[in-house]
Structure 1
Amino acid sequence: MSRRWSLSNRLALLFAACTAIVSLFAGVLFSRGSEAHFIELDQQLLEAKLTGVRRALQDGPNPQARLADELSRQPDLALRIKDRDGVRWHDSSIRLPVQVPERPGLSTLNDTDNDYRVLNAPLDPNRADSPQLTLLLDITHHQHFLQRMQRLIWLTVGLSALATALLGAWAARRGLRPLRRMGAIASSVSARSLNARLPEEHMPAELAELAHSINDMLGRLDDAFQRLSAFSADIAHELRTPLSNLLTHTQVTLTRERSLGDYREALHSNLEELQWMAQLVNDMLYLAKADHGLLAVQREPLELALETDLLLEFFAPLAEDAEVKLSREGNARIEGDRSMLRRALSNLLDNALRFSPGGGEVRIRIVDGPQTVRIDVENSGGEIPAALLPRLFDRFYRADPARQEGSSEHAGLGLAITRSIIRAHGGDIRCESADGWTRFVVELPKAGQP
C-alpha cells in the first residue's frame, strides 16, 4: 500500500504551487509588457528617423552628407535603400544582414549575431515607383535584457516556490497542531475511558466546532454505554431471583419421594416463575424492536373517550378494592394502533392505581388541541422528587425501593414500553409531580398531522 502524504505536506505543496503560478503569471505579464514597451519606443524612434532620412534625401543639395549626418546621431541605426525592383542602391553599414523583411511597416529580425527592429517605407509615399527605405535598429541589448529578465523570473519562481513550501510546511504544522492534539486524545478513547473530552478552548473556530460535536458524540456514547451496562446488570439481577427460586424449589422437591399432588403443586409454582420470566423476555424483545424502529404501527381512527372508558371498566374492580375513584373527562379523535395505545394507557393506569392511597383518585383528562391531543393520567398521593422524574422511563428503574421482585408488574419495564409506544406514534410523554398529584402527560399528533 502506497504511503499517504500528510495534510501538512499537501498544504505546503499547494502553497508552493499557488505561489509559483502567481509568480510565473506576474513575470510573464511583466516580460510581455516590457517587450511591448520596447517595441513602442523603437517604433517611435524609427518613425522619427524615417522623417529625417526623407528630409535629408529630398531637400537641398548634397543629400549624402546630410544623410550621413542624420545617421551619425544614432550609432545603432542603419539604412538600406533599394529601387522599386529590389536592386540595392545603398547600405550604410557593411554588417547588415543580407535577407531583410520586405513587408511594409515594423517587423523584427533575428539574425545570427544581432537582432534588429526593421521599418520598411517608401522614400516618397506619393510615388508608385519611389525607392524603398529600410531602417534597421540594432536591439540586441534589448533582447539581452529581456532574456536576463526571463531567467530572473524563472529563478524568482523557483525560489518563491521553495520558500513558500518551507514556510507553508511550518505554518501548516503549526496550524494543525490542535488537530494532532485532538487525534492523540481521540486515540486514547475506549470503552473504559469514554469520559475523555477534546479541549475546545484556544482552538480555531472550525476545530472548536468539530471538537464540540465530537464531545457531544462522546457524551451520548458514554450515556448509552452506561445505560447498556446498567441494563445488562439489571437483566441479570431480575433473572437471578426467579432462576434461584426455580433451582431451590426443584432441588427441595427432588430431595425425597413425594405424592403426585406435591409434584403438581411444585410444577404450578415453577410455571408461575417461568411465565414471569417469559413475560420479562417478551418485554425486553419489544423494547429492542422499539429501539431499532421496528414497531409496526397499524393506524386506524380511534375515539379516545371510548378507549379509555373500556380501560376504566376493566380496572374498576381493582379500583374498588383499593377504594380509589376513577374518572374521565374530555374526548378527541386520533389515528393510531388500538392494541398498542391500549397497552400504553393500561400501563399508566396500573401504575397510577398502585401508587394511589386508599380514598385517592385517578383521573384521565383528554384535551383536544389544534395540532396535538393531550392525555393526562394523574393520581393523588405522594409526590415524586424532581431529581427522579427524568429516570422514571428508564428500564428496570424503580422509584420505590420497597417494591418486591418476582412479579411482571414490578419488573420496571412498563413505563419504558409506554414511552416506546408513544414515540412510535410520533408523540412524547413526560411526568410531572407537584401539589399532591403525579401526572403523566401524553401528547399525540392529531389525525392528518405529521
Structure 2
Amino acid sequence: MRRLSLSGRLALLFAACTAAVSLVAGVLFSRASEAHFIELDQQLLDSKLIALRSVLQDARQAGDFPRLQARLHNELSRQPDLALRIHGADGQLWFDSAPSLPVAPTNTPGLHSLIQGDTAYRIYEVALSPGRSDSPQLTLLLDITHHQHFLQRMQHLIWLTVGLSALATALLGAWTARSGLRPLRRMSAVAAGVSASSLTQRLPQEHMPAELAELASSFNAMLGRLEESFQRLSAFSADIAHELRTPLSNLLTHTQVTLTRPRPLEDYREALHSNLEELQWMAQLVNDMLYLAKADHGLLSPRREALELAQEADMLLEFYAPLAEDAQIELIREGHAGFAGDRSMLRRALSNLLDNALRFTPAGGSIKVRINDSAQRVSLSIENSGEGIAQEALPRLFDRFYRADPARREGSSEHAGLGLAITQSIIRAHGGQIRCESAAGWTRFVIELPKGD
C-alpha cells in the first residue's frame, strides 16, 4: 500500500485542526446560546410569576378561583405561549388554562424542560406563597419550540461550517504544502542526477524558506565535499600511477638492456641489485598506501604506554645527529612532558617531521623541538629555519603525494609525498591535531595531543 505523501499528511492535519477548532467553537457557541435562552426564559417566567402572585394573593382554596379566572385569563393573554396550572397543597388540580398541554411532573420545584413530540416546553414550578406548607403550587408552562428550532438550525450550520472549513483547509493546505515542498522535489531531482560527471550542480537558496535554505546549504556543502573528495581521489589515482610508472619503467628498461646480449655474471648481479632497490621502493610505497588506507577506515589502534616525550625526541635527535653535523645544522630540544601513546607510531611521525626539517634547513641553520605540558594537552613543535612555505600551499601539505615543488622527484618512499599524510594519520589516531605555520624565516609543525584520564 502506497504511503501517504507529506503534502497529503499536512493537508489532513490542517483539515483536522480546522475541523476540531470549528467544532469546539460551534459547540461552545451552541451551549452559550442555550444558556442565554434559559436565562431569558427564567427572567420572563419570574416577571410573570410576580404578576400572577399579585392576582392570586387572596386565593386560599379552590372556591376562590371562579371570581379570579377573568383576571387570570386577561393576564395570561398577554403571553400567548404561556400556560398556568394551579394545584392545591393536597395535589388536587384547581386551575388549568390549557388542558391539552402535557401533564407536567409535580413535586419538582424549579425550572426544567420537557419535550413532547415536536414541541418543547420550559416548566417552572413554584409555591404561590413561599414558606407556607399549605400554599397552592403554581406550574407555568412556556412554549420554547422556536428556541429549539433556532438551536437546531444553528447546529446544522455548525456541522456545515465544520465540513466546508475542513474541505477548504485541506485543499488550501495541500496546495500550500505542495508549493512549499517544491524545493525538496528539486533537491530530489538534483540528488537523482548526481554522478561523477555532475558533482558541480548546486541548489539555489535565494527563494527558499529558512528551514529548507538550511537544508539546501547542507546539501550543497555535501556536494562540495563529494566533488572535492572525488577530485582528490582522481588526483590520487593519477599520482599513484605516476609514482609507480617511473620505477616500473626503470625496471623494464634496465632488464631489457641487460638481456640484449650475454654479459658477465657481475653485470647480472649489479642489474639485480638495481632492480631490488626499485622493488624495495615500490614495496615501501605500497605499504605506506595500505597504512593510510587503514587510517582512513579507523583501523589504526595505537597502544597506550607511558612515554616521556623528551626521551623519545632525544633518541631521534641522536639518530639524526650525524646527518645534521654533516649539514652544519644545530639540533635543539626544549621542555618535557609525559604522554600515553604508541611508541613506534609516534617515533615514525616525529621521524618524518625531522627528516623533512633536515632536508629543507640550510647550512648553518637550526632545528628546534619544543615540548610544552599543560593540564589538558601536550604540545610538541618541530621548527626549522630557512626558506618558508607559501601560504597557499599550507592547507595541502598533508595531502597524499602533494609536493610544494611539483617538479621535484626523489627516489625514496619517504620523499614520495606520503610522509606528512602518514604523520597526520598517526596524530589523529591518538586523538590529536597537527598544523603547519610558516613565517619570518621559520617553518613550524605543531602537534597537540590530548591527555587521557
Superposition TM-score, scaled by structure 1 size: 0.91
CA RMSD of aligned residues (A): 2.4
Contiguous gaps of at least 5 residues in structure 2 = none
- Would you say the 8 A contact 2:104–2:123 is kept in 1? no
> Are 2:119 and 1:114 aligned?
yes
Once residues 91 and 374 of structure 2 are traced to their aligned partners in structure 1, the CA distance between those partners, rounded to angstroms, is: 106
> Are 2:233 and 1:228 aligned?
yes
Secondary structure of 2:56's partner? helix
2:353 to 335, 340, 348: 348
Aligned pairs, how many?
447
Q: CA deviation at 1:24?
A: 1.0
- Would you say the 8 A contact 2:122–2:142 is kept in 1? yes
Once residues 359 and 272 of structure 1 are traced to their aligned partners in structure 2, the CA distance between those partners, rounded to angstroms, is: 33
Q: Which residue in 2 is equivalent to 1:440?
A: 445
Q: Which residue in 2 is equivalent to 1:246?
A: 251
Q: Which residue in 2 is equivalent to 1:14?
A: 13
> Are 2:150 and 1:151 aligned?
no
Once residues 26 and 438 of structure 2 are traced to their aligned partners in structure 1, the CA distance between those partners, rounded to angstroms, is: 79
Q: Which residue in 1 is equivalent to 2:85?
A: 80
Once residues 234 and 313 of structure 1 are traced to their aligned partners in structure 2, the CA distance between those partners, rounded to angstroms, is: 34
Q: Which residue in 2 is equivalent to 1:68?
A: 73
Q: Which residue in 2 is equivalent to 1:89?
A: 94
Once residues 262 and 302 of structure 1 are traced to their aligned partners in structure 2, the CA distance between those partners, rounded to angstroms, is: 49
Q: CA deviation at 1:400?
A: 2.7
1:205-236 Cα distance to aligned partner (Å, 9 max, x none): 22222222222222222222222221122112
Q: Which residue in 2 is equivalent to 1:296?
A: 301
Indicate the percent of aligned positions where both proteins have the same amino acid.
Answer: 75
- Would you say the 8 A contact 1:186–1:198 is kept in 2? no
Secondary structure of 1:58's partner? coil
Q: Which residue in 2 is equivalent to 1:55?
A: 54
Once residues 128 and 382 of structure 2 are traced to their aligned partners in structure 1, the CA distance between those partners, rounded to angstroms, is: 115
Q: CA deviation at 1:162?
A: 1.9
> Are 2:207 and 1:202 aligned?
yes
1:314-338 Cα distance to aligned partner (Å, 9 max, x none): 1122223333333333333333222
Q: Which residue in 2 is equivalent to 1:24?
A: 23
Q: Counterpart of 2:205 in structure 1: which amino acid?
A: E
- Would you say the 8 A contact 1:101–1:118 is kept in 2? no
Q: Which residue in 1 is equivalent to 2:428?
A: 423
Q: Counterpart of 2:113 in structure 1: which amino acid?
A: T
Once residues 390 and 121 of structure 1 are traced to their aligned partners in structure 2, the CA distance between those partners, rounded to angstroms, is: 98
Once residues 378 and 18 of structure 1 are traced to their aligned partners in structure 2, the CA distance between those partners, rounded to angstroms, is: 68
- Would you say the 8 A contact 1:241–1:406 is kept in 2? no
CA 1:193–1:55: 2 relative to 1, 3 Å: same
- Would you say the 8 A contact 2:409–2:416 is kept in 1? no
Once residues 35 and 402 of structure 1 are traced to their aligned partners in structure 2, the CA distance between those partners, rounded to angstroms, is: 95
User: What does 1:31-430 correspond to in 2, within 5 Å?
Assistant: 31-59=30-58, 62-98=67-103, 100=105, 102-258=107-263, 260-369=265-374, 371-430=376-435
Q: CA deviation at 1:252?
A: 4.0
Once residues 260 and 412 of structure 1 are traced to their aligned partners in structure 2, the CA distance between those partners, rounded to angstroms, is: 37
- Would you say the 8 A contact 1:57–1:66 is kept in 2? no
Q: CA deviation at 1:67?
A: 1.2
Once residues 44 and 378 of structure 1 are traced to their aligned partners in structure 2, the CA distance between those partners, rounded to angstroms, is: 100
- Would you say the 8 A contact 1:422–1:429 is kept in 2? yes
- Would you say the 8 A contact 1:117–1:137 is kept in 2? yes
Superposition TM-score, scaled by structure 2 size: 0.90
